[in-house]
């Protein structure tokens, strides 16, 4: 390596590690402020739970470790839920990471592509064919959570957060947006989650319902599927899968 090049690389590395000053300090502070405000907008319920002051410090810590990699800040904070789970201060708030996951689902549903949901009569016709496959609507978002985080998130959706004492058990979260101006947000059970999981990966409708019925015989899986279809969650199989 040329001596001049080696010296340049050493000085460049030292400059990166050194505290920012002058215009660089202003730039870094501006980027950090933008990241914190984006996180505040993307995770409002987490902020309500922590309080504005604590959330601001948490957001600064996260943004310092995980700065934005894209100019589209509406999606900033992809790893926020997992990051929360690694923080010692979150040990007494075991549901907080799951609440952040719910907020991520909500954002994903809100910004997903539009599509025409399949009419109920066409879903019914498809169910008559054992090998019929349908795709989930591109805006459908769901997850299974180890805490009642969806119940907690829903309790924070009114003008003022409502009191809640949920059963401390796992539950599913589902967001559906059948048209640009309608969004459904609800808790789901294990049977519904199993059906949605199967449909996401191209499993035939009848196979998804049958698998859920075997696993969860106490649930009326036919009625559960009808409820899911009524939310506008299904489209023709020509649409791409969403994850």
Which tens digit of pLDDT belongs to each residue from 34-45?
899 999 999 999
- Mean pLDDT computed over 227-233: 95
One domain for residues 171 and 223 = yes
Q: Is residue 146 part of a domain?
A: yes
- Mean pLDDT computed over 219-235: 95
Lowest mean per-residue pLDDT among 22-26, 125-129, 150-154, 234-238: 22-26
One domain for residues 70 and 20 = yes
51 lies in which domain range? 1-93
For residues 30 and 123, the model is more confident at 123
What is the predicted pLDDT for the residue at 63? 93
One domain for residues 176 and 85 = no
One domain for residues 62 and 173 = no
One domain for residues 52 and 162 = no
- Mean pLDDT computed over 198-207: 94
The Cα–Cα gap between 102 and 95 comes to 11
State the chain's mean pLDDT as an integer.
87
- Mean pLDDT computed over 191-199: 97
What is the predicted pLDDT for the residue at 238? 52
What is the predicted pLDDT for the residue at 4? 65
Lowest mean per-residue pLDDT among 29-33, 106-110, 207-211, 228-232: 29-33
Of 60, 93, 126, the residue at which a domain comes to its end is 93
- Mean pLDDT computed over 61-74: 89
- Contact of 194 with 178, CB cutoff 8 Å: no
One domain for residues 225 and 135 = yes
Q: Is residue 105 part of a domain?
A: no
What is the predicted pLDDT for the residue at 25? 47
**How many structural domains are present in the chain?**
2
Question: pTM for the full model?
Answer: 0.83
One domain for residues 40 and 127 = no
What is the predicted pLDDT for the residue at 167? 79
What is the predicted pLDDT for the residue at 223? 96
């Amino acid at each position: 390596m040329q001596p001049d090049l080696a010296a340049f690389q050493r000085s460049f590395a030292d400059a990166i590690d050194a505290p920012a000053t002058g215009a660089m300090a202003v730039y870094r502070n501006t980027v950090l402020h933008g990241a914190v405000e984006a996180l505040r907008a993307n995770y409002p319920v987490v902020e309500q739970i922590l309080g504005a002051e604590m959330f601001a410090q948490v957001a600064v810590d996260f943004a310092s470790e995980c700065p934005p990699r894209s100019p589209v800040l509406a999606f900033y904070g992809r790893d926020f839920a997992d990051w929360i789970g690694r923080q010692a201060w979150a040990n007494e708030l075991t549901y907080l990471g799951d609440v952040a996951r719910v907020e991520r689902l909500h954002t994903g549903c809100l910004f997903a592509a539009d599509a025409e949901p399949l009419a109920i009569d066409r879903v019914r016709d498809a169910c008559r064919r054992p090998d019929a496959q349908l795709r989930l609507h591109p805006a459908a978002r769901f997850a299974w959570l180890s805490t009642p985080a969806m119940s907690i998130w829903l309790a924070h959706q009114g003008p003022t957060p409502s009191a809640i004492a949920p059963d401390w058990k796992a539950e599913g979260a589902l967001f559906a947006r059948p048209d640009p101006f309608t969004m459904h947000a609800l808790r789901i059970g294990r049977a519904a989650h199993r059906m949605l999981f199967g449909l996401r990966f191209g499993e035939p409708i009848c196979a998804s319902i049958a698998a859920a019925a075997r696993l969860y015989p106490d649930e009326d899986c036919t009625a559960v599927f009808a409820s899911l279809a009524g939310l506008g969650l299904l489209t023709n199989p020509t649409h791409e899968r969403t994850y």
